[in-house]
Each structure stands twice: as structure tokens, then as C-alpha cells.
Chains A and B, each alone.
Chain A
Amino acid sequence: MDKNKFVFIEQTGEGSEAIRPSLTYWQDAWRRLKKNKLSMIGILVVFLIIGFGFIGPYLTQYSYSDQINKYKNLPPMLDLFEIDGYNFHISKDYNMFIVEPDGTLIDRLDLPPLNRDTINKIYRYQMGDEEVILDFSYNLLPDKQGYDYDYTIEFRGQVVTAPQTSKLNKMFPFGTDGLGRDLLTRVMYGAQISLLVAFIATLANLFIGVIYGSISGYEGGKVDEIMMRIVDIINSIPLVLYVILLMVWFRGGGLTNIIIALSSVYWVSMARLVRGQMLSLKEQEFVLAARVIGVAKWRIILKHLIPNAMGPIIVSMAMMIPAAVFTESFLSFIGLGVSAPMASWGTLANNALSGLTTYPYQLFFPALSIAVTMLAFNFIGDGLRDALDPRLRKG
């Protein structure tokens, strides 16, 4: 036959669908997760926070426990009074600072006790041989009512009643706390502690919950009955209460104690979830096949059952991390957290509470960090649920 009678059909690409490369469960899940923009943002943010917490402290010039006594309670934004080429900043607790025009602190001005006239409400600060006079008697003393400013600053005969500019605090971008510690460093350090607690507690929960749940689910019968009764009892206790009790039992805070307390209580939901998965998985043929060829029980659980239940486990793990961050900050907030000078986001927020009306920025940054972290993990959790467990897909 003449070869030339055959003509090549033009390729339309229609058949290409059939030879799409087959994807494993994990590749498929990853592909779906990648499509979820919010989750990808969440993952990015989590990496940023991890970098912020674990690399950040090496980049700042202070350590989390350094106390620079003269620079306490400084805000992240410095209101500057410019007089005769000098920039002054008055802190809320009446300390006067001299500042570079770009917002770098130069020094705190001396205020000898004799220059502190608390009756007439006039402070005279020393700058070399010269004096800077702060008069904050306006609207406070009975004979000085009805002014539209509360204080004046006098230097070299010039009087200023309001700050001209505000500059970002170059030395302490997040400000300082009541002991003169750099808040940026402390928030970074707090990230370390909070994330460490969350990750370790979650891993411990995962470990205990998965082992407990799979034994209970696989064994079934009496064993299952007893093990689940125990879970029921633990589950019927308000968990936060027991974490608090455990913390009291451990005699107060400390990183290890928080982790132990969180891990010893929160594994029950994981155990229930895994048990449910085991109950349905163990009836499937591949388990029967494994059993027929004589695979050991623990090997069936570890090699065949747990990998197949991994989807829901990972989803619940992603949801557990923010819960642990939450509980840790809550514990720290009621005074059962890590002990000073260590700091977690919760202790930072707790410390800020007493000076809230005067120094709100001290609460703002730790609170923001907690919120951003929670948000990021929630996005990841939602995305993972959609990607790994399509049956649970919401909305």
C-alpha cells in the first residue's frame, strides 16, 4: 500500500485529558491548597511570624531582658517640641528627652529633685548649663483654668504650647515598657515562646490523641468502651479549669509546665476524631488483606490505618495550634504564664493592662500579634480542610 495515502490527522489536543498525570492524594491536596489564596497568605504570614520570632531577636540591639532605665514608657510615635534647633519629647510620666530631628533619642534630661516643683506644677530640666522649663499647671490649678493647652515648654526664652511634629521612634519602633525594655524585642521573644508552646503542645496532643484514638478504635469492644468512657469524663470537665488547676499544681508558671498542662488535657478531641476514623477504616479490605498475610497489629495501625486518617488529623492539628496560642495567652493573662523576665504575648498584654489608658501601645502590639497569628492559622486550617477533606467542605 502506498504510504503517501495516509495523512496525519492534525492534533486537536482533545484526547489529552485522558492522559493527565495521575496525582497522589497529597499532590492533589497541595494543588487544591495552592488555589486557596487566603491559605497561601496564611502560610506566608506564619513563616513571617516564625522568622519574626526566631530570627528577629538577633537583629535588634537589645535583649528581651535589657532594662534601659532612662528610656521607660516611651511610645512608638514621639511628639516633638522644636525650640531653637533642639527637639524635645515629654513622656507621659513627665520625663524630658532630647531627640534628633529624625526621631533618634539622644538622652534624657536631668531633673534634680530640687527642680521638681510639684505644688506650682513646674519642672525645670537641666541640659548642660541651660534649663528647659515644663509648666503643666494649666487647667489643673484653680487660678489657671480655661486654657486650650495643658502645658508649656520654655527654652532659651521661647515658649511652645503644642508639639510641632511627630516622628517614629527610631530606637524603639514599638516603644518601651515600664522598665525600659524594648517592646519590639519583647514581642519577638513573645512570639518565640507563644509559638513554641503552641507547636510542642500540639505535637504532644497529636501523639497522645492519635495513639489513644487508634488503639481504642482498632481494638473495639470492651477496650474501646472503657477508653471512651475515660475520654467522656475528661471531656465533661471545663478544660480551661483543669489547665488552671494543673498550673496551680505545678506551682505556677514556667514554660515546661504550661506545655505539660496544655498537652495533658487537650488531646481528647483528637482521640475522638482518630477513633472515628479507625472505626470506619478498619473494616476496609486492605486491612483485612494485611491481617490475612499476618501483619502485626501495631504495624497495621502505624503503616496502614494512621496514614489513611492523616487528612482529618492534619486539619484538626492546624485548628489546634491557634487554640493553644489562645489558651497560653489566656493563662499568661491571668498570671499563670511564663515568669518574668521571659515574656509571651499573653504576659505582655497582661503587663500592659495596668497602664492601659496612658500607654495603650503597650497592649496594641502583643494583641495585634495574637490576632494576626490566629487569623493566619485559621486561614490555613480552613484551606487544609477544603483541600484534605472535601466532605467537610463548608460554604
Chain B
Amino acid sequence: MKSYYLKRLVPLFITIILITTLTFAMMHSIPGGPFTRERPVPEAILRALNEKYNLDDPILIQYFKYMKGLATFDLGPSYSKIGTTVNELIVEGFPATAKIGGLAILLIVILGIPLGVISALKQNKGIDYFVMFIATLGITVPSFVIATGIIYFFAGQLGWIPSFGLATPKSYIGPVIALAGYSLSFIARLTRSSMLEVLRQDYIRTARANGIGEFTVIAKHAIKNALIPVVTYLGPTIAAILTGSFVIEKIFAIPGIGRYFVESVTNRDYTTIMGITVFYAVFYLIMILLVDITYSFLDPRIKLKGEK
């Protein structure tokens, strides 16, 4: 087991280094520095700024300095928000993002999977058609449309929820639904098809033939096996949702990490773009690793490589 983790961790680090290098190279190959403005900045100020942020060093030195910073979890200063570091931005933004994301994932799991299971058990009945209709809508309507629709109807017309910020518990409703929408629908569809597949298997028939109660058959034998593809999908989704809610954060004006990312993209704030990218990538990789480990608990047939 230990050697398995080792085997997974080494490529993880290589990937992180590669991602950082690639991002670094991309950011530094853009013509013009971060302080290039429409109105030329006076020479002396530019030189002072470049010196302050070590931008006058040769590119390789800058790279090593950045990597050294990264090794000590220091992502450098933000270029456009003078006086703040990227670390501070992430620390400030991540809690809001994680809260929305966490709630969205909770919603996906406690709503998506049961809906899929019910839909599969009542295949071709009214409830199945209804759930699948909603789910199909959910995967075809983009999240920003769902979000703006929620703002328009529930915040604007009906006034039930606030249209921006995270001040009250109610204000979580909008962003969480908008964020969960697509994955919730996808999970429901995936659970349904996977469940139908499992219900046709011989071991389910055997279980029924042995006189095991229908509930036990479904809950213990069918669902557990039907969840394997769901977990496969859920892993990257958790990472993506916890990190990738740029649009939702922009629409609902949530002071999260995604908003800083979008802002930094428009401001060409290179250190922030890089910092958040690297942060996302590391987070994403760790989540995927966790999912792989979860597999072995769900399905004993899946043996982790390196495990003897």
C-alpha cells in the first residue's frame, strides 16, 4: 500500500512542476511586462517596479526564484493589487468558493444519486420521464443561464433571495443551485444508466433467487456496484466545482477565488493568474488521487497497482 502512494506521488510532483513551468513560460512569453500601460509609464518608475518585483533578473533566475517560492508555498506578490500577495488573495477567496462548492457537491450527492436510482427503479414510468426531462434540461442549459435566470426570477421578480453576495444563509441558494445544476443532472443520468446495467446482472438475479429482500438487494448489492462509474465522474467534478465557479462567482458577485481569477485575467495580473492556476492544478490532482483511493474501498475487484 505504501509503495502505491509513493508511485502516485512522484508523478504528481512531476506534473505539478511541469504545469508550473508551462504556465511560467506562457506568462513570460507574452510581449510587454505587467506594467505596460496604454500611457507609457516613466522610465524610472518602470525600472523601480521591475527591480521591486525582480523582473529585471534573467528569465531563468526569475524561474528559479518562483519555484523556490512555490516550494515554500509563496506565490509572490500580486501585480495589480499593490500590497497584497497571491497567497493572501487565495486565503481570502477560497473559503467563500469552498463553501459554495461544498454545498453544491452535497446537493449533487444527496439529490443526484437518489434521483438516478429512483428513476432506474421506475424505468419508463412517469417519475422516470420527469426526472430525465429535468436532467436533460440541466445538462443542456449553461450554468450562467441558470444563474441569471435564478437572479431574474427569484431575486428580481419574486424577491425571495438576495441577488448578490453571501451575507445571509438565503443567499447561498442561488449560487449553489446554479453551480450544482449541470453535474447534478449528469450524475442523475449516469446513476440511472449504471443502475439499469447492474440490475440486469446475474448476481442480482441470484440475490433475488436466494430470497433476499428487495430492499437489501437494491441497497446492498445494486447501488454499491452502480456507484463505481459515478465515483469516477464525481472525483474530477468535486475538484472542478470547488475550484471552477468563475462564472457563478462573477454573476452573483461572490468574493471568491474564481472572481479574482477572472479579474486577474482581465487585468493581466500574471502572478495571480499563475498562482491560482497552480493552486487549482495541485488541488485537482490531489482530489483525483483521493478518488482513485476511494475506488479500492468501493470495489474490491479494483486492486491498487503496487499492492501485493
Contacts and interface: CB of A to CB of B under 8 A. Distances in A.
Nearest to A239: B240
B139 A330 contact: no
A238 B243 contact: yes
B244 A240 contact: yes
Interface stretch (B22-30, B41-49, B203-211): B22-30
Contacts of B196: 394-395
B265 A244 contact: yes
A140 interface: no
B79 interface: no
A336 B277 CA distance: 17
B123 A245 contact: no
A238 B266 CA distance: 20
Contacts of A248: 26-27, 30, 265, 268, 273
Interface string A226-253: 0001001100111011001111110100
Interface stretch (B56-64, B96-104, B278-286, B293-301): B278-286
A353 B150 CA distance: 12
Nearest to B266: A335
Given A237-B19, A357-B152, A334 B26 contact: no
Interface string A336-353: 100000000000010011
Interface string B129-161: 000000011011110110011011000100000
A239 B137 CA distance: 24
A363 B240 CA distance: 26
B265 A378 contact: no
Interface in B215-233: none
Given A245-B277, A249-B26, A367 B247 contact: no
Contacts of B288: 236
A251 B30 CA distance: 8
Nearest to A322: B140
A244 B151 CA distance: 26
B284 A238 contact: yes
A374 interface: yes
Given A371-B140, A375-B136, A334 B30 contact: no
B85 interface: no
Contacts of A241: 244, 277, 280-281
Given A241-B277, A245-B273, A357-B152, A371 B141 contact: yes
A326 interface: yes
B16 to A, nearest CB: 9
A370 interface: yes
Nearest to B29: A249
B161 to A, nearest CB: 14
Nearest to A363: B148
Q: Is the interface of B mostly helix, strand, loop or mixed?
A: helix
A330 B144 CA distance: 8
Interface residues of A, number: 38
A335 B263 CA distance: 10
Interface in A246-275: 246-249, 251
Contacts, number: 111
Contact of B156 (A244, A326, A357): A357
A378 B140 contact: yes
A390 interface: no
Contacts of B234: none
Contacts of A249: 26-27, 29-30
B145 A363 contact: yes
Contacts of B148: 349, 352-353, 356, 363, 367
A330 to B, nearest CB: 7
Interface string A199-235: 0000000000000000000000000000001001100
Nearest to B151: A356
Interface in A295-351: 322, 326, 329-330, 333-336, 349
Contacts of A357: 152, 156
Contacts of B243: 238
A51 interface: no
A352 B149 CA distance: 12
Nearest to B239: A238
A226 B56 CA distance: 37
Nearest to B18: A233
A395 B193 contact: yes
Contacts of A336: 265
Nearest to A248: B265
A333 B281 contact: no
A238 B240 contact: yes
Contacts of B268: 248
B156 to A, nearest CB: 5
Contacts of B29: 249
Nearest to B124: A395
A174 to B, nearest CB: 16
A248 B272 CA distance: 13
A245 B273 CA distance: 8
Interface in B35-78: none
Given A356-B152, A367-B145, A370-B145, A236 B285 contact: yes
B284 A237 contact: yes
B140 A238 contact: no
Given A241-B280, A395-B192, A353 B251 contact: yes
Nearest to A251: B30
Interface of A: 229, 232-233, 236-238, 240-241, 244-249, 251, 322, 326, 329-330, 333-336, 349, 352-353, 356-357, 360, 363, 367, 370-371, 374-375, 378, 394-395
13 contacts: A236-B285, A237-B284, A238-B284, A246-B26, A248-B265, A249-B26, A330-B142, A330-B144, A333-B144, A356-B148, A367-B141, A374-B139, A374-B141
- What 5 pairs across the A-B complex have the smallest Cβ distances? A374-B140, A394-B193, A367-B145, A375-B140, A371-B141
Given A245-B23, A248-B30, A370-B141, 19 more contacts: A233-B18, A237-B19, A238-B243, A240-B244, A241-B280, A248-B27, A248-B265, A248-B268, A249-B26, A249-B27, A333-B144, A334-B246, A335-B266, A353-B148, A353-B251, A357-B156, A367-B142, A371-B145, A394-B196
